[in-house]
Amino acid sequence: MNILNLVIQNKEAYYNLASEYFNNINPEEYENIKLDNILPKSISILIDHEFILTPCIKVKMSLFQDQKEIGTYYLYVTKDKEFVDEFLIIK
């Protein structure tokens, strides 16, 4: 099975994995911001990147407070869902 079909067939599993990883972040990392919602945004296949040297899958989640998007969480994993890296950006 090619990687695109793998992602399409397992997109909910990738979003769930990103939610799990986000929930394991120390709350001090996002400065005690009370989040209302964390919503799936996109899944991409990352082949070439300046900072992420391993080809992988990028899962993007949007963070909301008071119904306003206040940040983004990125999880990078291999096709086998092994952790590569993560980034949390709060606006």
One pLDDT digit (tens) per residue for the chain, 91 residues: 688 898 999 999 999 999 999 989 877 777 677 888 999 999 999 988 888 888 999 999 999 999 999 999 999 999 889 999 999 998 8
Q: Residue 89: its pLDDT value, please? A: 92
Torsion, Cα of 69, 18, 51, 44 (10° steps): -80
Q: Residue 73: its pLDDT value, please? A: 96
Q: Residue 45: its pLDDT value, please? A: 93
Alpha helices, H only, the chain: 3-9, 11-23
Q: Residue 52: its pLDDT value, please? A: 87
Q: Residue 36: its pLDDT value, please? A: 87
Q: Residue 1: its pLDDT value, please? A: 63
Q: Exposed, middle or buried: residue 13 (CB in 10 Å: 0-12, 13-18, 19+)?
A: exposed
Torsion, Cα of 76, 38, 14, 81 (10° steps): 40
Helix, strand, or coil (residue 88)? strand
